[in-house]
Amino acid sequence: MTTKTFKRPDGRKPEELRPIKAKVGIIPNADGSAMYQSGDTIAIAAVYGPRKMHPQHQQDPKKAQLRCTYNMLSFSVNDRIKPGTSRRSTEISKITEWALEPVLILDKFPNMVVDVFIQITQADAGTRCAGINAASMALAHAGIPMKNLITSVSVGKLDKNLVVDLTKEEEDFEEGEGPTDIPVSMTPEGEITHLQLDGKISPTQLKEAIDMAKKACNQIYEIQKEALTKSIEEKG
């Protein structure tokens, strides 16, 4: 439930996304690449492969494997973060693989690997969702066989009010029941491939949150498609 009088810190409506920019083909030496920006959060994804899986004992004779690496640059946030792999980056890397793999057709490439490197160059919340959106476009740009794109967005609860595409200020909201953050990834048909819940929410509100995510993801999907179409037109 969202009250009609509720005002977000940046003036957006509860269901309103931050301004979005999307572009593919930004890294010339990658097989596929994309940039996805939501507000002040910027994610860049680069795809390499399919290529031979090394080490050899990790090869799967039935299909290629998807290997995602998520990383936040040291100066992507106001407080400098320690460079290198962290428990959080390892977790988000694995979540990204789970979110994307259901739409990939990898059985044509046995013993191979598709590497996706995601860099967060600027962060204002929603970084895992931005990374998934960028990676989805980069995989399509690389020509990896896909059933469809994956889109991702975060829905949050500020006290009793549901909102989409949270900022860092909203993520840190502590009044009332405290913050609730629900990152969701899905296909254009509404099939959910990834859902997390950090905080408290009733079953009724969770259903409403997922409905809000579906509407937001539909908007993101159109922007992803437009970026890919523009790239094809520019090549032609």
Torsion angle defined by CA atoms of residues 51, 120, 94 and 103, in that order, rounded to the nearest 10 degrees: -60
pLDDT means over runs of 10, the chain (236 residues): 68 95 96 97 97 90 95 65 74 97 96 97 95 98 97 90 92 69 95 93 93 97 96 74
The helix-helix angle for 127-141 and 87-100 (nearest 10°) equals: 50
Q: Name the CATH code of domain 20-235 (choices 3.40.720.10, 3.30.160.270, 3.30.230.70, 3.40.50.10860).
A: 3.30.230.70
Residues sharing a CB contact under 8 Å with residue 174, sequence separation 6 or more, in sequence order: none
Return the domain boundaries, the chain.
20-235
* C-alpha span between 160 and 176 (Å, rounded): 8
Contacts of 177 by beta carbon, 8 Å cutoff, 6+ apart: 157, 159, 160, 199, 200
Identify the pLDDT of residue 76: 55
pLDDT of the residue at 99: 98
Element (H, E) at 83: none
